A and B are shown apart, each in its own frame.
Chain A
């Protein structure tokens, strides 16, 4: 079945550091790929998405490129802020009404 593997956390960075959170996937078809963010005590918010190979999703300074050849969708940000501290989930969706398949989540802590 489909699966998502993302780097284990927690990740602790200083403010303005560069962020990479790795995500790889396995899927039988051509999935859409997503990054969701969960702030403490809240639900999930869609951060960015990409629906086909070589698409780049971007939002709030975060970027991720759909790499079909390496089955990856790594999340990057050039300069993190304390307010970026949250849990980040990589996810995929393969077919119309099937639920999202989530990675285990990566907790990011940014310190001033």
Chain B
């Protein structure tokens, strides 16, 4: 149990275009989902916390107009990178907290974004 999927697993896009990444909890309901960004050989940087049915809470320094987060249901959150630039290339990881669980988060496999 407690599986989180991400789609796509990798994507290459051209500079100036937008990319949407989906995060789904497959066998549990997640009232809260988190979006992280990871640079090569570094730790995870929390970008935002997403609660179902409400606006996401962004960490300091993360542009909310550039990284649009929608948490429309208890099993789906999306991250849209708008007007992507090469510096947005990164590994994006989502995680979900089981509404019945105790503090642990289940992570998706990650999405590698390359902007050319």
Residues of B near any A CB (own CB < 8 A): 4, 6, 31-32, 34, 41-44, 46, 49, 51, 93, 95, 97, 102-110, 112
- SS of B interface (majority): strand
Q: Which residues of B contact A42 (CB under 8 A)?
A: 109-110
Q: Which residues of A contact B112 (CB under 8 A)?
A: 41
| Contact (Cβ within 8 A) B43 A99 | no
Number of interface residues of A (CB under 8 A): 22
Known contacts: A34-B104, A99-B49. The answer to whether A43 contacts B43 by CB under 8 A is no
B35 to chain A, nearest CB (A): 10
A44: nearest chain-B partner, CB-CB: B107
| Contact (Cβ within 8 A) B102 A43 | no
Q: Which residues of A contact B110 (CB under 8 A)?
A: 41-43
| CA of A44 to CA of B106, assembled, Å | 8
The 3 closest A-B pairs by CB, nearest first: A93-B103, A44-B107, A43-B109
| Contact (Cβ within 8 A) A100 B105 | yes
B58 to chain A, nearest CB (A): 12
Residues of A near any B CB (own CB < 8 A): 32, 34, 36, 41-46, 49, 51, 89, 93, 96-97, 99-100, 102-105, 107
Q: Which of A36, A42, A44 has the most CB of B within 10 A?
A: A44
Q: Which residues of A contact B4 (CB under 8 A)?
A: 43
A7 to chain B, nearest CB (A): 13
Q: Which residues of B contact A93 (CB under 8 A)?
A: 103-105
Known: A97-B32, A99-B49. 17 other contacts (CB 8 A): A32-B104, A41-B110, A41-B112, A42-B110, A43-B6, A43-B93, A43-B108, A44-B44, A44-B93, A44-B95, A44-B107, A46-B104, A46-B107, A93-B103, A97-B31, A102-B44, A105-B43
| CA of A107 to CA of B40, assembled, Å | 12
| CA of A19 to CA of B4, assembled, Å | 29
Q: Which of B32, B51, B95, B103 has the most CB of A within 10 A?
A: B103
A92: nearest chain-B partner, CB-CB: B103
Q: Which residues of A contact B32 (CB under 8 A)?
A: 97
| Contact (Cβ within 8 A) B49 A45 | no
